């Protein structure tokens, strides 16, 4: 009996294996450190799956830590949404939830220690002067005129900053490292700035706030993080991360490891741009189903399992790349095909009158709830004299190989009967308003009749007498350009005007009234649809999660 090959591990897990086998660490502690200044997007999902996934695989733990160092952009709303998103993805931090603001006292104490050791100074230059003084990749920086201020004076000035004697931006605390360093991040970076702003946790206790680069590594060290995993844009920050670890009395020495971030075509991931879409009302909110936010894709009906599968499929590398959104949609289809119950719905209805069917008669037919899960059994669907079918399931002058309804043609109405179209009714403008058909009672349940004739087409339908009126929202990609981040002009110039189509009078089988908000089902032959939070008993609302096939790719290939 052959042994299946062991799947290869990504480079991060190989590093962890080596650290554990060498005895460098006796366990793993990772963390997911979001800034509470916006909603998480699918790019964050990759980091969540990586950090929490490693903790699960290695029997370690993953901390949730909010890097809340900028009170002007942070809000409790974002904190709550981040928690909800992580739990929806299937992960839990247990008791290990932390905030960078938990460490403000310790960070301040260490900053004072840097000043006392001559490794930090108060600078009175403006932000623009500091930026210009840093130089560039070809030219070294210029020392601040305050770089050699005496230690005692720096200590006094820093205390006065803390006491609120200065206005926003008047002074900053900078590390004294090397203004000629080839890495610009090492050219005396700012450690503290003045912000007279209410913090969502500490209130007005502080008016000086530590910078992200200073806070991040020290928070890792205080929490005894073993492997600090971050995306590639922080690779150039690693020397600074390590400088702080080496020059402060931290209790542990985490290792920063970078990996490539998740990028998708036909969307944007910048929090600034996502916020602009919300604030300028290009979308209905952070959870608009067209948004790449986790709350948006959840509202659209994407299963958490599909997001985890997608993150596993694209893997962990150091190579920058853009993933095709079709791959994400494929993961969604795979999961929903297994788990979504089936129902019939008609989005663009045209009435069918079965002329030889008794007017007051109603029959019930059995239809499978989910062919992938036969143990769920059958559901009942009602059949009556008047039905609705999709308008595009009928053509008056059909081409060859059109196996749906047409004058004189016979098709199978799913689970019910064979029906033949005998007459077409039109209004004064020539629009078809009604089809007159006859049914064959010998084909009950959609079975072939005793005479052995067969039909090639099967269409779905809904009983007009029992139909549930609903609103259906058809969502498409938010942008028409494959890479809206890399276009001339504004990314907003490439918004897709057809990214949302609202169908006000869809006709659904009545079983769909019992589907709860947030549940995704399959409308047979149409796609997967999720009950939206705007739904009511009077009028359900369904969002299209994804079509049964990649219609976008097909359309692009034809164009």
Catalytic positions are 35, 261, 271
Length of the chain, in residues: 559
Helix (H) or strand (E) run with residue 387 in it: strand 386-390
Write b or e for each residue in 67-91: b if 16 or more Cβ atoms lie within 10 A of its Cβ, otherwise e.
bbbbbeebeeebbebbbebbebbeb
Alpha helices in 435-518, H assignment, sequence order: none
Phi, psi of 549 (to 5 degrees): -135, 165
- Would you say the C-alpha torsion 9, 13, 15, 18 has a positive or negative sign? negative
Q: Rounded to the nearest 5 degrees, what angle is found at the Cα of 28, between the Cα atoms of 23 and 31?
A: 145
CB 365, CB 449: distance < 8 Å = no
The whole-angstrom separation of Cα 274 and Cα 38 is 9
CB 325, CB 266: distance < 8 Å = yes
CB 223, CB 98: distance < 8 Å = yes
The whole-angstrom separation of Cα 310 and Cα 267 is 17
Write b or e for each residue in 123-133: b if 16 or more Cβ atoms lie within 10 A of its Cβ, otherwise e.
bebeeeebeeb
Eight-state DSSP code of residue 377: -
């Amino acid at each position: 009996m052959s042994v299946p090959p062991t799947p290869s591990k990504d480079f991060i897990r190989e590093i962890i294996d080596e650290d554990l086998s060498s005895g460098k660490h006796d366990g793993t502690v990772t963390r997911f450190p979001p800034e509470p200044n916006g909603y998480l997007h699918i790019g964050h999902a990759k980091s969540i799956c990586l950090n929490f996934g490693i903790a699960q695989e290695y029997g370690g733990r993953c901390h949730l830590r909010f890097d809340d160092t900028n009170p002007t952009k942070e809000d409790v709303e974002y904190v709550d949404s981040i928690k909800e998103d992580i739990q929806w993805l299937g992960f839990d931090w247990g008791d290990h939830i932390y905030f960078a603001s938990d460490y403000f006292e310790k960070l301040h104490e260490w900053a004072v220690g840097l000043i006392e050791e001559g490794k930090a100074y108060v600078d009175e230059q403006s932000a623009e002067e500091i930026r210009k003084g840093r130089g560039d990749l070809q030219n070294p920086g210029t020392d601040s005129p305050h770089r050699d201020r005496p230690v005692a004076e720096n200590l006094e000035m820093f205390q006065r900053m803390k006491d609120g004697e200065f206005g926003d931006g008047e002074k900053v605390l900078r590390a004294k490292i090397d203004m000629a360093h080839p890495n610009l991040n090492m050219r005396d970076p700012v450690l503290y700035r003045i912000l007279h702003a209410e913090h969502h946790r500490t209130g007005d206790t502080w008016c000086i706030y530590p910078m992200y680069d200073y806070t991040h590594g020290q928070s890792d060290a205080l929490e005894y993080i073993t492997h600090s995993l971050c995306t590639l844009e922080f690779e150039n920050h690693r020397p600074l991360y390590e400088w702080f670890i080496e020059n402060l009395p931290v209790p542990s020495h985490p290792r920063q490891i970078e990996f490539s971030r998740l990028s998708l075509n036909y969307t944007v991931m910048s929090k600034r741009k996502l916020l602009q879409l919300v604030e300028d009302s290009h979308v209905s909110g952070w959870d608009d189903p067209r948004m790449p936010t986790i709350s948006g894709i959840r509202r659209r009906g994407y299963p958490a399992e599909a997001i985890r599968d997608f993150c596993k499929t694209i893997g962990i590398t150091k190579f920058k790349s853009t993933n095709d959104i079709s791959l994400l949609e494929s993961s969604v289809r795979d999961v929903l095909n297994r788990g979504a119950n089936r129902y019939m719905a008609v989005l663009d209805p045209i009435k069918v009158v079965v002329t030889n069917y008794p007017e007051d008669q109603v029959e019930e037919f059995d239809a499978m709830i989910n062919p992938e899960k036969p143990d769920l059994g059958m559901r009942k669907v009602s059949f009556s004299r008047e039905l609705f079918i999709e308008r595009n399931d009928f053509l008056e002058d059909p081409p060859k190989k059109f196996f749906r309804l047409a004058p004189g043609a016979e098709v199978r109405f799913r689970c019910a009967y064979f029906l033949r179209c005998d007459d077409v009714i039109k209004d004064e403008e020539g629009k078809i308003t009604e089809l007159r058909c006859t049914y064959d009672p010998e084909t009950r349940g959609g079975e072939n009749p005793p005479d052995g004739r067969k039909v090639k087409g099967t269409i779905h339908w809904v009983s007009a007498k029992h139909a549930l009126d609903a609103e259906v929202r058809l969502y498409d990609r938010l942008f028409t350009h494959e890479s809206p981040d890399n276009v001339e002009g504004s990314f907003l110039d490439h918004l897709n005007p057809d990214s949302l189509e609202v169908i006000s009078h869809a006709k659904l089988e009545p079983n769909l009234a019992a589907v709860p908000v947030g549940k995704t089902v399959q409308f047979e032959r149409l796609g997967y649809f999720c009950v939206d939070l705007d739904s009511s008993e009077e009028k359900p609302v369904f969002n299209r999660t994804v079509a049964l096939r990649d219609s976008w790719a097909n359309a692009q290939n034809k164009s």
